[in-house]
Chains A and B, each alone.
Chain A
Amino acid sequence: MTTEEHTARAMVEAVGIGRDFTVAEGRFPRRVKRVVPAVRSIDLTVRPGEIVACLGPNGAGKSSTMKMLTGILSPTRGSLRVAGLEPSRRRTTLARRIGVVFGQRTGLWWDLPLRDSLELTRHLYRVPAAEHAHRYAELTELLELGPFLSTPVRQLSLGQRMRGDLTAALLHNPRLLVLDEPTIGLDVVSKATIRSFLARLNREEGTTILLTTHDLGDVERLCERVVVIDRGSVAFDGGLDGLRARDPGSDIETVVAGLYRDGAARP
């Protein structure tokens, strides 16, 4: 089977992936090492063209899972393929095929105008000049970057910076976009801009999107499929309808909170 065939079948194929951290506790003479399973065992298949949202309480293991998918954290167990590659072994090759945004961090050049970071992606991903220019113009318009392209990144607001990071992750037209909390800390207008942009990207270009969020609005606006992660395992994987159907009387927030509580009650 070639890589291309594999990619066509599944964008993400995770079987039983998990990650343990070893942490040292206590002061020197009584220092003990303890193994913390941040992610116990996750099965997740994402097909091309899907938008999947990962929900889960703080510390559930969402970010750790995204790190494994993008190749910056190697799994302790399980097997994993993303865009046809084993992420931690082929990290730099995978980087050409996917776009990644970690909402809490920035990949932009802090001291330089936003434009400098965006223009660099052309060389970084070896995008032909004309194609890059076209996409740059398009993304600049859709995400309304025009007014602050010349502003140093450290002077941008959170929402402006997030749109900049999103653009930087998309200029090479990746088939898979991985977003860890892309709407964290944004106001309602910025959230709406980003949501409608992502929906359009998925609809018109068929980009597969995998995102984590604590905002149920993101899920309702964007996703047909929801994966709830709790204590490092998948607690629910299915359609939004399926999630609602678990407790038809109450709203979606109550259902999700119930899922988190179920998890907490488990031994």
Chain B
Amino acid sequence: MLVHGAVYARGLRRYSTYRAATLAGVLTNSVFGAINAMVLLALFGARPEINGYDATDAVTQVFIGQALIGVTLIISGPSLDLSTRIRTGDVAMDLLRPVPLQSWWLAQDLGRATFAFAWRGLPTFAVGALLFDLAAPDAPLATVVSLLLVAVLGFALRYLYTLSGFWILDVRGLWTLMGFVGPVAAGMMLPLALFPAPVADVLRLLPWASLVQIPAEIYLGKDTLPGGSALGGLALQAGWATVLLGLGAWVTGRATRKVVVQGG
């Protein structure tokens, strides 16, 4: 466990060297969030309520989504260095450590996510709060726990995308696809409440929704959550985290037994 703490600290320190990129991220996410919010405000101008969401709810979720882009990194291209390391064979060095591959990268990525949340997520949300009327959190404590689970889930999904590199080597195609499907299914682009109800109900149960839609509903105190409460939402997130990390551990075992570390 100690070693994971030390790896977490190094992940945090390592990413804190990327300050300019972080600032650029805040700017992009704020601008995109503002445009998105104005479109939604126009939409809600015509109908004051859609599937239990009013304009403030929708705009708040837009900025939660924008604030979580840097934390989850499910939008951009391959975002775990592990992808490159698998392609070049440097993953050999990771496999030579007396620590499981997944927990090593989880610890490091949580360090990165912490930095991204503090320096990219929070500032983006603050810009949103300055420009628009955002809702206050309904259950602050549950929201914090939910955000922790978001960081774990964001890692677990990207880790699985990345491991496919052991078989297909060039994972960029998969990332392009998932970089589009994931954020939509997460409710990051548009709250799932704006989708037709049957579609939204299915999407809510998939792992991507646990990255934005579920935490947003916990923040907003919606009764569309599983079991109608924040606790139900947290249980769904924790369930997916367990399943995905379990799957990740299993796939890692298969990958390292059957598959080849590249290069001399």
Chain A: residues with CB nearer than 8 A to chain B? 21, 63, 67, 70-74, 88, 91-93, 95-96, 100, 102, 104-107, 109, 111-112, 116, 119-120, 123-126
Chain B, Cβ-Cβ closest to A96 = B98
A67–B98 contact, CB under 8 A?
A: no
Docked pose: A105 CA to B85 CA in angstroms: 10
Docked pose: A150 CA to B17 CA in angstroms: 15
A95–B97 contact, CB under 8 A?
A: yes
Residues of B within 8 A of A100 (CB): 96
Those of B85-116 within 8 Å (CB) of chain A: 89-90, 92-100
A74–B14 contact, CB under 8 A?
A: no
> Contacts A91-B256, A123-B3 given: A104-B264 contact, CB under 8 Å?
yes
Pick out which of these stretches binds chain A: B5-13, B37-45, B61-69. B5-13
> Contacts A63-B264, A72-B261, A73-B260 given: A120-B98 contact, CB under 8 Å?
no
- Cross-interface CB contact of A109 among B10, B90, B99, cutoff 8 Å: B10
- B47 proximal to A (CB < 8 A): no
- B130 proximal to A (CB < 8 A): no
B99–A124 contact, CB under 8 A?
A: yes
> Contacts A73-B260, A73-B261, A93-B98 given: A111-B17 contact, CB under 8 Å?
yes
B264–A72 contact, CB under 8 A?
A: no
Docked pose: A88 CA to B95 CA in angstroms: 11
B92–A123 contact, CB under 8 A?
A: no
Residues of B within 8 A of A93 (CB): 98
Question: Smallest CB–CB gap between B64 and chain A, Å?
Answer: 30
> Contacts A67-B261, A111-B14 given: A105-B90 contact, CB under 8 Å?
yes
As a 0/1 sequence over residues 14 to 51 of chain B, the CB contacts with chain A under 8 angstroms (1 = contact) are 10010000000000000000000000000000000000
Interface centre among B5, B10, B94, B264 (most CB of A within 10 A): B264
Selected A-B contacts with CB under 8 Å, 7 pairs: A73-B261, A74-B257, A92-B97, A102-B93, A107-B96, A107-B97, A124-B3
- B2 proximal to A (CB < 8 A): yes
Question: Smallest CB–CB gap between B92 and chain A, Å?
Answer: 5
Docked pose: A102 CA to B95 CA in angstroms: 12
> Contacts A73-B260, A102-B93, A123-B6 given: A109-B14 contact, CB under 8 Å?
yes
Docked pose: A243 CA to B13 CA in angstroms: 52
B93–A125 contact, CB under 8 A?
A: no
B92–A105 contact, CB under 8 A?
A: yes
A72–B98 contact, CB under 8 A?
A: no
Question: Smallest CB–CB gap between B15 and chain A, Å?
Answer: 9
A125–B92 contact, CB under 8 A?
A: no
Residues of B within 8 A of A72 (CB): 92, 95-96, 256, 261
Docked pose: A105 CA to B213 CA in angstroms: 42
Residues of A within 8 A of B17 (CB): 111
A116–B98 contact, CB under 8 A?
A: no
Q: 12 other contacts beyond A67-B92, A67-B261, A120-B10, with CB at 8 A cut-off?
A: A72-B92, A73-B261, A88-B257, A92-B98, A92-B100, A95-B96, A100-B96, A106-B90, A109-B10, A112-B14, A116-B10, A123-B6
Residues of A within 8 A of B90 (CB): 105-106
Docked pose: A109 CA to B96 CA in angstroms: 14
Interface centre among A67, A106, A112 (most CB of B within 10 A): A67
Question: Smallest CB–CB gap between A20 and chain B, Å?
Answer: 11
> Contacts A67-B261, A72-B261 given: A124-B98 contact, CB under 8 Å?
yes
Residues of B within 8 A of A63 (CB): 264
Docked pose: A106 CA to B95 CA in angstroms: 12
B13–A116 contact, CB under 8 A?
A: yes
> Contacts A72-B256, A106-B93 given: A125-B98 contact, CB under 8 Å?
yes
Question: Smallest CB–CB gap between A2 and chain B, Å?
Answer: 21
Residues of B within 8 A of A119 (CB): 6
A123–B2 contact, CB under 8 A?
A: yes
